[in-house]
Structure 1
């Protein structure tokens, strides 16, 4: 050995000689992820497109009999129906995907969503709205299956990167939804030169935004039917064997690639990270209720309830008359405000969220986000006070709206923490996802769909009861002038502070050395 080589070894730090090399990150299967995100994108769009106009839609059906204060009762039922139906079906969708495969289950969702978004826009009475909204929730219940697909097309080196993109997908969808609902509702009134002479849009003033949202869902399903590959290990293995058997029965030739030992490229990109099919049967539900998952779901439950309550109250307060404690905005202005905020929020997440998390830590960001909900709720009575004092939405009102929406940007960070940030770090300081923890906590791969379905169900249950509770409290507070009409904000403030306290239960990051 040369003197130069000996000196090189002596000068090399001992930890560099003995520490194992860091695993190389597998490139993300971008096209398959794009399809999965496209399917997921339909959920926030169809869930939020109705927010700018649903309160006015309810009044137009005549169910309130002219009493604007009752709007909250009925609007809350419609908004809850979506997530209630989703909560009832999401676990079964997961089970079905464990048995029949991910691809056929995922393809059913966009088809159903597109159909029942159309029926929602064509409804002319309250109960038809409820039925259509329920069916949208049923077909949206398979959204948890897409997370199983993400877990099966990635590995330990790139799964965090894949799940880190999910908040942007939701933010973008929840931005597009209100924009569509606000700008395209009542088109004959908003765009008289273009739609004013068409009788159909006078009879069905809310059909256009619903149709566009349904079209988005339908297009996502069409693209998925063409490009989405099966990822369930057992189903993918059977398909591979079938293709191999078909190839082996063919006459050998120079163009028969499979006979020379090459795999069929059609499924290679998906199967590269998929292990051999698990022969274990899906375990019973009690085997899924492990402590890390339960603790995570508890925090998620409070977050989902508080967040959904705030989302429902925003358009309800905006659309209520100033004399009753609201701001008197029409659907166009509501959609514009929600849309502008959605764009700013998406830019914030894309540009600053990662830096904020790295600078202050996931737990601190989570706690601050929950505190922000409390601030948002506290400011609603001030909105009412300044609007009534000026008789309109003046500069003070818009200043408070800006403060509220600024705080709401950190609320999105809370979902980022819960959907992808389990509070532990690997050797790169990379924060892993709570969703990843749920995937890892599954007893076996046969239970992957059921585990994700359970996680999705918890959020759906909270989102299903929050709109009815929040909007009903709003109506009760106005009708009986409880705490000057502000009782709803005081109750939900208590819930938000309780959620803040429970967020301290999230595990602290493991120290790295």
Structure 2
């Protein structure tokens, strides 16, 4: 039924109609949905127990989505499907997109099933799907197995949409913002903790050789451990879901039950400045209304999809950018470094959502918070190319702050849109409505990693092809960092030590000539041939060089540990030398022309630095053709 009236003189009539409607609520003893409604009616406190269960289940759904990002670059590299290092991001995008593409195909179906058979069966089935297919993904031995398991995981894990409906149904109206905040907080933390787990636990035989042997299961499958941890957690969530109360009404008289989470009259009464006619619609069964014609629902879904496309592309590109070599505009982070940044972001996000977001939302409203977040995102992301110019402690602080702020903004926007979507429909439509939202969002998220990975791969390829010759052109698009400028001043070029790279042509090992490698890399002033050649090891804290040869040019190939390389350069103001850091996962080729001092210092606490030195003259230590102990500060 519907009633029309005017705000103002007939306001009391409308209010009386509302109160009368609430008195007509009818509960059925054997209906689990009615039990939840009765609990909401008789208990005015926040449903802490139910919201805790929601938090745990959503965390379970979020962890497998992003746990692969820190190690995806290395997984694709180990599959040996990429012919060039710059192509790794291209293939990584397809692995990242497979999950979302699968979820896009089935989310509406899972929503309809949740509306017909209940939220609980869909949630439990999704938890078990994570246990099975996330484990298989960790055991992937080739590119197509990885894509297939991610696709099946996305297709069969349809729990997130029903969980959003569930969170709004267990809360009284005054606590619905809290319920959606719990959803988005758990989701955001899962998207941060997931990469942290992947970053710290991937390749355990390399990171923790005292605990994990290379011949063990985790040595043969270097990306299995983080997937296994998440699968074990999901198994625990599956058991917890057995005690999850159902919220869907099991009787047929849907029009006689007041759904507290949907009330267009109350929404209208909250807008005190409206003087136009008010239309009061009694809740109906889902089959009587077309969701696609519900503009409040569809508009919030469209905005939600745009932000999720952006956020998913950012999530993948951030990790790939962080682990990419500095010569390609990255940070040369290890997977553990990326995990540390995302762990800090997760903790900060938890504090913000629990302590500050409810206050902000109550004062500004969900729409205003979303608008402010969208505006702030633009300058924040524009600053990332400049972050790559930083080093040391400054880089650590700025990267962590930027990552935290980005996650806070994203979760704040998402929470507001969740509220708008679930308030726009009745309970009988909520599963299908969230299914539409999930399908549309998943399509956007599927496009995000693929497009983002392809874009990053293209940029990296152009960076590698242009090298120092195209540095001015590249800086116009990419804001080339001073790290690359320092490499130029130090007469050095660095690249990844793993396949594929200029020194790793195939799986048999390194094959290169130091002189030709320097020439092909654009390093000038080194040895023209190898009259004398030597191989050396520099232990942690030790140094080699710190001298100046007048009778020979020298070319170096350096690898193995975090190493400081210093080269005399009178064009560097104040210091008179250029100094760069070579990371443990990098190989550097450098040249020291005759009459130029150089030094290598191992600053790694554990690993040894190795180098090959090639000289085009014979150094006689007895004669005065060399200066030693040039720099007193080393």
- Per the normalisation by structure 1, the TM-score is 0.73
* Correspondence for 1:484: 474
SS in 2 for 1:231: coil
Q: Which has the higher strand share?
A: 2
**How far apart, in 2, do the equivalents of 1:366 and 1:408 lie?**
13
Match of 1:405 among 396, 403, 413: 403
The answer on 1:300 being equivalent to 2:304 is: yes
In structure 2, relative to structure 1, the CA distance for the partners of 1:403 and 1:287 (3 Å cut) is closer
Asked if structure 1 preserves the Cα contact closer than 8 Å seen for 2:107 and 2:439, the reply is yes
Q: Deviations over 1:362-391 (max 9, x none)?
A: 44432332233322332232244x26xxxx
| C-alpha deviation, 1:294, in angstroms | 1.9
Q: Deviations over 1:400-440 (max 9, x none)?
A: 4245225314423xx33443x3xxxxxxxxxxxx4344334
**How far apart, in 1, do the equivalents of 2:253 and 2:232 lie?**
34
In structure 2, relative to structure 1, the CA distance for the partners of 1:35 and 1:363 (3 Å cut) is closer
Match of 1:27 among 13, 34, 45: 45
| C-alpha deviation, 1:445, in angstroms | 3.5
In structure 2, relative to structure 1, the CA distance for the partners of 1:38 and 1:139 (3 Å cut) is farther
* Correspondence for 1:450: 432
| C-alpha deviation, 1:235, in angstroms | 6.3
**How far apart, in 1, do the equivalents of 2:387 and 2:407 lie?**
19
**How far apart, in 1, do the equivalents of 2:72 and 2:290 lie?**
40
* Correspondence for 1:75: 92
Q: Which has the higher helix share?
A: 1
Asked if structure 1 preserves the Cα contact closer than 8 Å seen for 2:47 and 2:171, the reply is yes
SS in 2 for 1:192: coil
Alignment of 1:104-253 (within 5 A): 104-196=121-213, 198-225=215-242, 227-234=243-250
* Correspondence for 1:394: 392
SS in 1 for 2:49: helix
**How far apart, in 2, do the equivalents of 1:158 and 1:112 lie?**
31
**How far apart, in 1, do the equivalents of 2:365 and 2:161 lie?**
27
Q: Deviations over 1:436-466 (max 9, x none)?
A: 4433422x53322101111222222211111
Larger CA deviation: 203-212 vs 328-337: 328-337
CA RMSD of aligned residues (A): 3.4
In structure 2, relative to structure 1, the CA distance for the partners of 1:284 and 1:486 (3 Å cut) is farther
The answer on 1:42 being equivalent to 2:32 is: no
Q: Which runs of 5+ in 2 are unaligned?
A: 1-14, 20-40, 263-281, 467-472, 480-634
Aligned residues between the structures: 415
**How far apart, in 2, do the equivalents of 1:157 and 1:404 lie?**
33
* Correspondence for 2:487: none
Asked if structure 2 preserves the Cα contact closer than 8 Å seen for 1:296 and 1:418, the reply is no
| C-alpha deviation, 1:197, in angstroms | 5.8
**How far apart, in 1, do the equivalents of 2:429 and 2:298 lie?**
16
* Greater radius of gyration (CA): 2
SS in 2 for 1:52: helix
| C-alpha deviation, 1:31, in angstroms | 3.1
Match of 1:318 among 319, 322, 326: 322
* Correspondence for 2:519: none
In structure 2, relative to structure 1, the CA distance for the partners of 1:487 and 1:310 (3 Å cut) is farther
Asked if structure 2 preserves the Cα contact closer than 8 Å seen for 1:117 and 1:132, the reply is yes
SS in 2 for 1:283: helix
The answer on 1:341 being equivalent to 2:341 is: no
Asked if structure 2 preserves the Cα contact closer than 8 Å seen for 1:153 and 1:273, the reply is no
Asked if structure 1 preserves the Cα contact closer than 8 Å seen for 2:107 and 2:435, the reply is yes
SS in 2 for 1:165: helix
Alignment of 1:346-495 (within 5 A): 346-358=350-362, 362-384=366-388, 386=389, 393-412=391-410, 415-419=411-415, 421=416, 434-442=417-425, 444-481=426-463, 484=474
The answer on 1:55 being equivalent to 2:73 is: yes
- Per the normalisation by structure 2, the TM-score is 0.60
| C-alpha deviation, 1:318, in angstroms | 0.8
**How far apart, in 2, do the equivalents of 1:177 and 1:383 lie?**
24
